[in-house]
Amino acid sequence: MVQIIETIDVDVPVGIAYNQWTQFESFPEFLDEVVSLTQIDDTHTRWKVNVGGADREFEAEITEQHPDERVAWASTGGETHHAGAVTFHKLTDSSTRVTVQLDWEPEGLLEKAGSLIGVGSHAVKKDLKNFKEFIESRGHETGAWRGDVDA
């Protein structure tokens, strides 16, 4: 199992950063490998991704969600096995630290080799930069879901 932890500071209030992250169907706009993401219900999503030229599909369950604090998930079926969490930390009234922790199981020779040289960490870092540019350029979220999900 590979673990990736990356952090970025964004110049928006914690509520705006969190609210945007709950808009899962917008992920293809800033997560490079996500082709599409469909919200099935409050706690289930269906993902289509392209990783290293390979198309994959999987479902994930939101295992924990607390407004302005944390969103955690785990894959529940499909071709990708991973779990993760995103946490939101208020730095000031207008800035937020976003931290992603991702645990995943590389499949096949290409993914295993890539994980050894840090390709996954680089991808997450790039996706966080994309998120920063996306949310800062807008200045507001595209929507929000403020529900609470307990593990």
The structural domains of the chain, ordered by start, are: 2-138 (3.30.530.20)
Residue 108's pLDDT band, with cuts at 50, 70 and 90, is low
Strands (DSSP E) contained in 11-114 are: 34-41, 44-51, 54-66, 70-78, 82-92, 95-104
Mean pLDDT, residues 60-85 = 92
Mean pLDDT, residues 37-54 = 91
Write down the pTM of the prediction: 0.91
The predicted structure's pLDDT at residue 52: 75
The residue among 2 and 6 whose pLDDT is bigger is: 6
Structural tokens at position 78: 């499909």
Which ranges of the chain does DSSP label H, i.e. alpha helix?
14-21, 108-116, 119-138
Closest CA to 30 of 140, 144, 139, 125: 125
The residue among 44 and 123 whose pLDDT is bigger is: 44
The predicted structure's pLDDT at residue 134: 97
Residue type, 117: I
Residue 7 pLDDT greater than 90, yes or no: yes
- Number of CB atoms found within 10 A of residue 148's CB: 9
